[in-house]
């Protein structure tokens, strides 16, 4: 993204306050300018974090990155939307930080950028995936039934059964992670839902 001369001037400065209550409007213009540059590479940082799954098998027959790419590949080949495919790619990105709640990590990352239905699908996929294995661990495989009346119930069943649970196949011909980069970059280019979007639909602090 190109920057104007005034933008470059702001980027050459730093705010001077030590407490937010001391901040001036200029301070926040400076911070907003820096944030616009930083936010432009959300996709790159997300992809970098996804790559941390490379080589980590966790006892599965494929590593976590291959599982993620394979899930996305299966969704792509079923002609799902780009948004759905990116959700499939990132659904387990929280494995490294959220060992006990990994779907919540993925949902938090995706929340500003996806529809309510796709967000719910990602957020609840751990419970829905449990249908396939919870009974082996002494848990209730039908835990998903508490959400039977939710509008995204069938969507989430489909995601888990058609794309997520079969995506541990070491013989499957997955696409490469690089094949999905354009869709990831497009999705993360513009938030749809954020407390930082003003009444005119622009990010707060953005220039007209």
Q: What is the pLDDT of residues 149-190, one digit of tens each?
A: 999 999 999 999 999 999 999 999 999 999 999 999 999 998
Beta-carbon count within 10 A of 50 CB:
22
The angle at the Cα of 95, spanning 91 to 97, to the nearest 5 degrees, equals 120
Model confidence at 205, pLDDT cuts 50, 70, 90, reads: low
**Domain for residue 47, yes or no?**
yes
Say which residue, 98 or 194, is predicted with more confidence.
Answer: 98
Whether 71 is covered by a domain: the verdict is: yes
Give pTM, 2 decimals.
0.90
In the block, tokens 């719910």 appear at 120
User: What pLDDT was estimated at residue 207?
Assistant: 55
- pLDDT tens-digit series, residues 119-146: 999 999 999 999 999 999 999 999 999 9
Structural domain total, the chain: 1
- Examine residue 36 and state whether it is found in any structural domain, yes or no: no
| % of residues, the chain, pLDDT over 90 | 76
CA distance 186 to 39: 13
Q: Containing domain of residue 65, as a range?
A: 43-187
Domain membership of residue 17 (yes or no) is no
DSSP 63: -
Q: Is residue 8 part of a domain?
A: no
CA–CA gap between residue 105 and residue 96 (Å, rounded): 10
Report the CATH number that the domain containing residue 146 is assigned in CATH.
1.10.3210.10
Position 5 in a domain: no
Assigned token pair, 16: 């001077």
Tell me, yes or no, whether 152 lies in a domain. Answer: yes
For 197, the 3-state DSSP assignment is strand
Q: 135: which strand partners?
A: none
């Amino acid at each position: 993204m190109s920057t104007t001369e005034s933008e470059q001037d702001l980027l050459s400065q730093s705010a001077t306050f030590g407490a937010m209550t001391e901040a001036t409007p200029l301070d926040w213009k400076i911070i907003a300018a820096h944030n616009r540059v930083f936010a432009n590479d959300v996709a790159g940082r997300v992809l970098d974090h996804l790559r941390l799954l490379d080589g980590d098998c966790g006892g599965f027959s494929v590593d976590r990155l291959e599982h993620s790419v394979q899930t996305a590949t299966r969704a792509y080949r079923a002609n799902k939307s780009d948004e759905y495919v990116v959700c499939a790619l990132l659904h387990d990105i929280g494995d490294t930080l959220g060992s006990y709640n990994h779907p919540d990590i993925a949902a938090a990352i995706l929340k500003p950028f996806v529809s309510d239905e796709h967000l719910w699908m990602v957020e609840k996929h751990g419970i829905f995936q449990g249908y396939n294995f919870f009974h082996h661990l002494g848990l209730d495989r039908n835990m998903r039934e508490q959400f039977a009346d939710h509008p995204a119930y069938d969507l989430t069943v489909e995601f888990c059964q058609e794309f997520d649970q079969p995506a541990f196949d070491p013989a499957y011909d997955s696409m490469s992670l690089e094949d999905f980069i354009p869709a990831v970059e497009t999705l993360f280019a513009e938030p749809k839902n954020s407390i930082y979007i003003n009444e005119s639909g622009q990010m707060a602090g953005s220039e007209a």
